[in-house]
Amino acid sequence: MIPYFHLETIPLGHFRMSVFGILLMTAILVGRWRILHLERSEGRSDERNIALLCLVMLVFGLICAHVAKIVLADIPAFLVHPAIVLQKRHGIMSVGGFYGGLMAGLIWCKLRRVSGFETIRMLDRIAFVLPLSWMIGRLGCALIHDHVGQASTGWFAVRFPSGSAYDLGVLEFLFLIPLSILFEALGRRPMPPGFFFGLFGVLYGALRAWLETLQPHPPTFTWGPKAGLVGMATGFAGWIAMLYYKRQASKYPVATSAMAARRYQL
């Protein structure tokens, strides 16, 4: 059983900093640095497109994560008073952030007339660095324990002072460790654009569908497991795009961590 450890803030002079906020910002900065680093390792002179795409997906992802958290918590209240999303702060919901950010990114690429191949290439680049960045962010959830699940005495339950139970944030963090290692290992050889996008969607979507079954109470609106299944379907769509652009992919292989290490001697 996993021992209980709680860390919500850390002292910084006369102030106390949110651990979750620090780790979230770290995850964003690490992800951005790695994306641009890999772009340079391929010798791409124009990083502006993917930098702007990351910014668009991040901003709209955070907005949608906030809105989804409030709306799905009380749909009737939102329908009666939609402005509630501007008046309340109840944290964020990662599922809303994922889909909101992805839709915003696709719309942005369409408006900018970015080619389909370049769109899937940039999304694949983002997906490649996402497991490690998401793992850093999920560590914040694991430390503050804001996703407590069903009571359990299993090996992967947390020994809370009030009784042992699953912590969905802890479980997701632990899952992302081998997923990050898997991506780094696969990234040592060129993969066609769409491969990592598809792999992340399938594996992470399956994880979220399973985690929803460990919620403390059955959801009144069964969006949870379905959101995970939609993630898996999105991953398969990425693989279909990969096959569609197979010829282009053979000419422009995705840069890998090994290629970047050789060029920058990291």
In sequence order, what DSSP letters do the residues of 2-22 get, joined into one string? EEP----EEEETTEEEEHHHH
**Does the structure show a pLDDT above 50 at 255?**
no
Residue 94, pLDDT score: 83
Domain count, the chain: 1
CA 55/CA 23 separation, integer angstroms: 18
Neighbouring residues of 62: CB distance < 8 A, sequence distance ≥ 6: 92, 97
Decide which of 44 and 137 is more confident. 137
**Does the structure show a pLDDT above 90 at 71?**
no
Decide which of 83 and 186 is more confident. 186
Mean pLDDT, range 138-152, rounded to an integer: 91
CA 187/CA 74 separation, integer angstroms: 42
Domain that holds residue 119: 2-264
* Vertex 12: Cα angle to 7 and 15 (nearest 5): 90
% of the chain beyond a pLDDT of 70:
83
Q: Interhelix angle for 168-186 vs 116-144, to 10°?
A: 140
Confidence at 264, pLDDT banded by 50, 70, 90: very low
**Does the structure show a pLDDT above 90 at 97?**
no
CB atoms within 10 A of CB 130: 23
Residue (of 95, 48, 41, 87) closest to 68 by Cα position: 95
Beta strands in the chain (DSSP E): 2-3, 9-12, 15-18, 148-151, 158-160, 163-167
Confidence at 226, pLDDT banded by 50, 70, 90: confident
Residue 101, pLDDT score: 94
Query: Per-residue pLDDT tens for 153-179?
Result: 888 899 999 999 999 999 999 999 999
Residue 192: burial class (beta carbons within 10 Å; 0-12, 13-18, 19+): buried
Sort residue 163 into left (φ over 0), alpha (ψ -120 to 50) or beta: left
**Does the structure show a pLDDT above 90 at 86?**
no
**Does the structure show a pLDDT above 90 at 84?**
no
CA 1/CA 159 separation, integer angstroms: 7
Confidence at 216, pLDDT banded by 50, 70, 90: confident
165 phi and psi angles, rounded to 5 deg:
-160, 160
DSSP H or E segment with residue 233:
helix 223-244
Decide which of 228 and 72 is more confident. 228
Neighbouring residues of 21: CB distance < 8 A, sequence distance ≥ 6: 140
Mean pLDDT, range 128-140, rounded to an integer: 95
Rg, Å, the chain Cα set: 19
Confidence at 194, pLDDT banded by 50, 70, 90: very high
CA 66/CA 60 separation, integer angstroms: 10
pTM of the entire predicted model: 0.85
